[in-house]
Amino acid sequence: MMNKKILTSVLLVALASSLIGTATIAGFTSQASNINNTVATGKIYLSADRDDTDPAPGPLFYFDNETDGAAQDGYSTPGTKEDGYWYPGKQSGIKVLDVYNGSTLQPSIPIKLIGLDAVVEDPTPENGVDDTILKNAIYIKVWGPLDPVGVYRWQGYLSDLTNGNVHQFATPFAMSRIHKQTLNFQASMPTDPPGDDNDYQGKNIKVQFRVYATQN
C-alpha cells in the first residue's frame, strides 16, 4: 500500500516537470555571444648597436678602425673611437651601446634591463701564451646617461664579467614597449693592476658583452 503511494507521487512529480519544461521551450528566446577572443603572449624584441655617433653594429672597444673597429658587413660606418694600445693608467673614452626594446613594426613588452655579463670570444692562447690574463687588468664601468656623475649601475674587472654569472645592475633600466636605452661603457687599466704589471704587456683579448632583460 505504501509502495503504491510512493509510485503515484513520483509519477505526479514527473508529470509536473514535463509540463513546466514544455512551457519553457514554447516561449520566445534570444541569444548573444562574444566570440573570437584571442589571447597571445608578448615577445621581447631586444637588440643592441654600438653608437660611434652613428649607430651601427660593431664592437665598443677596438684597437683601430682598420684592424678591428669597423662596423660589421653591410654598414659603412667606420669606428671613430679607437682605443689603441692599453697600458697601466689608460682610460678609454665613453663608449655608447644603444639597446632597443621593440620597434614600430615589432612592439615589444615593457621590460627592464637587469644586468650584464661577458664571454671571452677567442680563448685560444697565442704562441703558448694565455692572453686572457688581460681580463684581470681591464676595469669596466657601466652607467646611464642620466645617472649622477660617479654613480655606476655596475663596475668591476672584466674577469668578473666573464666568470659565468650575470651581474645585476645596481638599479635596473626600465624600458617601455618601444624604447631605446643608452648605456655608457668605459674601460680603464689601473695604474697598478692586480698581479705583476708586466704580465699584461703585449696581450690581446676579445670579448662579447651581453645585456639581459626581463619583463617589467
Partner 1 sequence: MKKRLLLSFMMIALVAALVGGATFAAFTSSASNSNNSFTSGSINLLADGVTTTNSFNVTGMIPGATGTDTFAVSNNGTLALRYKMTLTKTGDTGFLTGVAPAVIITVKDSTGTPIVFDASGVSDYRPLAALTGSENLTVEYSFPDRADNNDFQGKTGSFSIALDAVTP
How far apart are alpha carbons 100 and 56 in whole angstroms?
Answer: 12
Given the complex with partner 1, which of 97 and 149 has the nearer CB atom? 97
Nearest to 211 by CA among 64, 100, 123: 100
Q: 3-class DSSP state for residue 21?
A: helix
Residue pair 101/181 in contact (Cβ under 8 Å)? The answer is yes
Q: In angstroms, give the least distance from the CB of 122 to partner 1.
A: 9
Kindly state the smallest distance separating residue 147's Cβ from partner 1, in Å. Answer: 19
- Tell me, what DSSP letter sits at residue 40? -
Smaller CB separation from partner 1, 147 or 206: 206
Nearer to partner 1, 11 or 85 (CB): 85
Q: How many CB atoms lie within 10 A of CB 138?
A: 22
DSSP state of 129: B
Largest CA distance in the chain: 114
> Please, what is the minimum distance in Å from the beta carbon of residue 130 to partner 1?
13
Select 59 or 154, whichever has its Cβ closest to partner 1: 59
d(CA 122, CA 50) in angstroms, rounded, equals 20
**Nearest distance from residue 63's CB to partner 1, in Å?**
5
**Residue number with CB closer to partner 1 (10 or 208):** 208
Placement of cell 505526479 in the chain = 12
Question: Minimum distance from CB of 103 to partner 1 (Å)?
Answer: 13
Point out which residues bind partner 1 (CB under 8 A). Answer: 41-48, 50, 58-63, 68, 83-89, 97, 99-100, 109, 111, 121, 134, 137-138, 158, 187, 189, 200-215
